[in-house]
Structure 1
Amino acid sequence: MVSEIIHKDLPFELVEYQNRLKKLKKEMASEGVDYLLVNDPVDLNYLLGYRSWGFTFLDWQVLIISLDYEPILVTRKLESTNFKYQTWIENMVTFSDEEDPMDRTIEVLTQRGVVNKRIALSFHSWFINANQFLALKDKLPNDVEIVDGTNITIKCRLIKSSREVTYIRQAADITSKVMNQIKEISNVYPTENDIAQRIMNDLISSGSEFPATPPFIGVGKRSTYGHPTWENYKTSKGDVVFLEFSGCTYRYHAPIMRTLSIGEPSNQAKRFEETSRGVINTIIDSIQPGMKVEDIDRICKEYLSSKNMNQYFHNRIGYSVGIGFTKWMDGMSIKKGVDMELQENMVFHIIPFITDFEISVAISETILINKNGAEKLTNAPQEIFVLDNE
């Protein structure tokens, strides 16, 4: 059995997954949770190595973790080979497309004993719908208490291992390489599709897997839209173009934001560029382990106040990053009231997105918290990239 596990297609050694499971069970015990139902692909990747996109075709799959038993997976029969060859798990129950997956889940829980137990699942998960939640409540014994376990897995994922940091560094190298090549676009007035094609081609040729989200690209006023995807809009002289994307290695990400200008940028764009660069570098220079997450938000707002630029900043200043399937955010937003201590090997995307809702400029970085402060993992000039091919 050991040799079979060793030869499975895993991005980490088996001992790392075992340590993650131990850490998770410790969190469960501290929260008074007997069972944790895990169905987010990010958590399945973290705990098992799972990295298939099959979850998009599934109504339900769940990893059942208890304090007293080995984990067991309930999944669609067609998807079972992903778990057999790309994860370390040995215990699996499958269902056909004609079966009710909730019945199979209840069957496993009943066999393991759930009377008077507390069962946790993520109330914020995209991967359990209202009907499934109600079915669980209806089919479980009345004395079972269902509680929110969202933060149990997030707490475990926030501090990365050395191998996780290695993969994030590799993703950051890809991200940086592709961003630094963006000025090689030869079109005089490229469309959003031209830019997207260049980014995607360069990501793939540089070794990236399919990232959690497509590149975000917005021309002109579309640069102010939240997360614009390419729609073939053509650039004109004087336009700014918002860019955000990430390379991906074993589902780990390191995103970046930059802004293009078609020809010389306007004075307002230059002003926003200076502000965004000032915010990002002030934060990087100020961070120390032991500070609170909310201190990053405070540093950002104090800098903006000192430059009288508060009115141009409207969003959170960042979030944790790591594993991603449908987004690369890894569970924690940086904002006032988040009093968790910054610790070594946490990774964040810092996003000083400056906008007057006519144009926007952003210079973002993926950073690593280390024993001395913060290290910038992404590496591209902190400036507006000027395209002038006339």
Structure 2
Amino acid sequence: MLFSQEEYDARLAGVRERLAKQGLSALLVTDPANIYYLTGYNAWSFYTPQVVFVPADGPMLLFARAMDADGAFRTTWLPKECIVGYPERYVHRPHLHPFDWVAFALRERYLVAAAAKGCVGLEMDSHFFSPKAYRSLVNAIPEWTLVDSFELVNWVRAVKSPAEIQLMRSAAQVCQAAMEAAVDTIDVGVRQCDAAAAISQAQIRGTDEIGGDYPAIVPLLPTGEASDTPHLTWNEDRFEAGQSVVVELAGAYRRYHTPLARTLTLGRRPARLAKLADAVAEGLDAVLDHVQPGVPVRELARTWNWTLARYGLEKPSRVGYSIGIGYPPDWGERTISIRSEDESVLAENMTFHVIGGMWMDNYGYELSESIRVTADGVETFTSFPRELIQKGG
């Protein structure tokens, strides 16, 4: 097992504590990151329905496609009798859904009635929980009151264990290697796709000591005038002199992620980009200096906003978010966001991707760090130079 049985037991206990506080008698977990967190199950099988049933008492049950369930014991700590495969005939059928079968399997095990004593939580905002899955459960188990769990497991994941922090430090080494590959490869005349290939190779190869995992998000490479918007990938165009290139990527190790963003300029730095880089660097430094247990997250956002205001700038989007385990299509935990409306309070061993991303008219700039809240401040997972990177000129 990747973690000790004691750690997995503590995770389940944390989930059940929140179950009780939210008045839930059971929980259905469909987010692959949450399934991994609770059971250790790790495979590219989330494109078909899979779910972990977490009762208020008793063992958890993992339901997956039969061909995946047969080998699930190779990564999960669950005993084989708690891994249940649904038949192949339920896969991709217009009038059937695997949760029709799962519902009957739960009823056969006398688990429906016990959970009917309270509300049953669902991960309503999970990327891998469909309206058809919901309809199947409603129709098959009418005695259940199904409610949104409001990212219950995600919130339990917010504070990392020492073992998880160590995995994120390993992911950071992969991240550092991938960003070095990006800076080494991106240059005038190089195709964007070749730069993406070099980054991807570095992400998977990792270092001589640590092999990389596949990241939840592909390398992002907004280039030239298109750098005024985030989340663009790449094409076969060649980088041109005078262009700026935003690079956002992550290192992944055993599904734990540490993202990083940097901006390159191919040639002399345009004055407007240099000014923006100065503002973002000062703002990011100010935010990191303010990180400490007990500090409200909204205070970090205010620190960032006040710094930008001195430069006559503003950033309407959030400044960062909680990170840890990641599966496609996202490496964020979908819980804490660093913005003025967030009521969360920092605690030791929370981990964040803090993003100084500014998207202007026909140009943009990104500078980010993945961090851990320490007992008295902040740890940055990588040590990549925190600056606008110039190549040529």
Report the TM-score, using the length of structure 2 for normalisation.
0.92
Query: Are the counterparts in 2 of residues 61 and 75 from structure 1 also a CA contact under 8 Å?
Result: yes
Which residues of 2 match residues 282-301 of structure 1 at below 5 A?
282-301=286-305
Q: 2:369 — aligned with what? A: 365
Match of 2:93 in 1: none
**Partner of residue 6, structure 1:** none
Give distance in 2, aligned partners of 1:364 and 1:255: 8
Secondary structure, aligned partner of 2:195: helix
Aligned to 1:218, the other structure's residue is in SS state: coil
Deviation at 1:98, TM superposition (A): 0.9
2:250 to 240, 246, 264: 246
Distance in 1, Cα, partners of 2:85 & 2:205: 37
Q: After superposition, give the CA deviation of every residue in 1:204-242 in whole Å (9 maximum; x if it has no partner).
A: 232211111110011102212230111122221110001
Contact 1:259-1:384 within 8 A present in 2 as well: yes
The match for 2:269 among 260, 265, 270 is 265
The answer for the alignment partner of 1:174 in structure 2 is 174
Number of residue-to-residue matches in the alignment: 375
Kindly indicate whether the alpha-carbon contact (under 8 Å) linking 1:116 and 1:145 is maintained by their aligned counterparts in 2: no
Query: 2:101 corresponds to which residue?
Result: 104
How has the CA–CA distance of structure 1 residues 181 and 55 changed in structure 2, closer, same or farther, with 3 Å as cutoff?
closer
Could you tell me how far 1:186 is from its partner in structure 2?
A: 7.5
2:284 alignment counterpart = 280
SS of structure 2 residue aligned to 1:93: strand
Counterpart in 1 of 2:51? 62
Alpha-carbon distance, 1:68 to partner:
2.1
Letter matched to residue 5 of structure 2:
L
Q: Is the 8 A contact 1:192 1:218 kept in 2?
A: no
Of the three residues 37, 42, 58, the one matched with 1:51 is: 42
CA distance in 1, matches of 2:152, 2:205: 37
- How far off is 1:34 after superposition? 0.3
Distance 1:87 1:241, change over 3 A: same
Q: RMSD of the TM alignment (CA)?
A: 1.6
Say whether residues 1:185 and 2:176 are aligned partners: no
Structure 1 stretch displaced more, 365-374 or 183-192:
183-192
Equivalent residue, structure 1, for 2:334: 331
**What is the CA–CA distance in structure 2 between the aligned matches of 1:209 and 1:361, rounded to whole Å?**
27
CA–CA distance in 1 between the matches of 2:344 and 2:105?
Answer: 36
**Partner residue in 2 for 1:341:** 345
Contact residue 50 and residue 82 of structure 1 kept, 8 A? no
In 2: Cα distance, 1:66 partner to 1:21 partner? 10
| Corresponding residue number in structure 2 for 1:130 | 131
Amino acid of the structure 1 residue aligned with 2:89:
E
Which of 87, 101, 107 is equivalent to 2:76? 87
Instruction: Name the residue aligned to 1:146.
Output: 146
SS in 1 for 2:126: coil
1:219–1:233: 8 Å Cα contact kept in structure 2?
no
* 1:130-182 CA-partner distances (Å, limit 9, x unpaired): 1111221122134x211111331111100000010001011112212332343
Q: Partner letter of residue 140 of structure 1?
A: I
TM-score by length of 1: 0.92
Q: Which moved more, 1:92-101 or 1:123-132?
A: 92-101
- Compute the displacement of 1:187 (Å): 4.8
In 2, Cα distance between the equivalents of 1:215 and 1:181? 12
Choose from 8, 11, 16 the match for 1:17: 8
Q: Distance in 2 between matches of 1:221 and 1:262?
A: 13
Aligned with residue 306 of structure 1, among 299, 306, 310 = 310
CA distance in 1, matches of 2:157, 2:389: 34
**Separation in structure 1 between the aligned mates of residue 98 and residue 9 of structure 2, nearest angstrom:** 27
Instruction: Please report how far the alpha carbon of residue 306 of structure 1 lies from its aligned counterpart in structure 2 after TM superposition.
Output: 2.1
Shift of 1:81: 3.4
Structure 2: gaps (5+ residues):
91-96
Change (3 A) 1:128 1:16: same
Shift of 1:317: 0.4
Alpha carbons of 1:264 and 1:197: their partners in 2 closer, same or farther (altered >3 Å)?
same
2:237 to 230, 233, 238: 233
Q: State the Cα deviation string for residues 314-333 of structure 1 (Å, max 9, x = none).
A: 32101011100111111222
Q: CA deviation at 1:275?
A: 1.2
CA distance in 1, matches of 2:300, 2:64: 41
Distance 1:130 1:270 in 2: 47
- Aligned to 1:184, the other structure's residue is in SS state helix
Give CA-to-partner distance per residue, 1:343-363, whole Å, 9 cap, x none: 000000011112213111111
**3-state DSSP class of the match of 1:94?**
strand
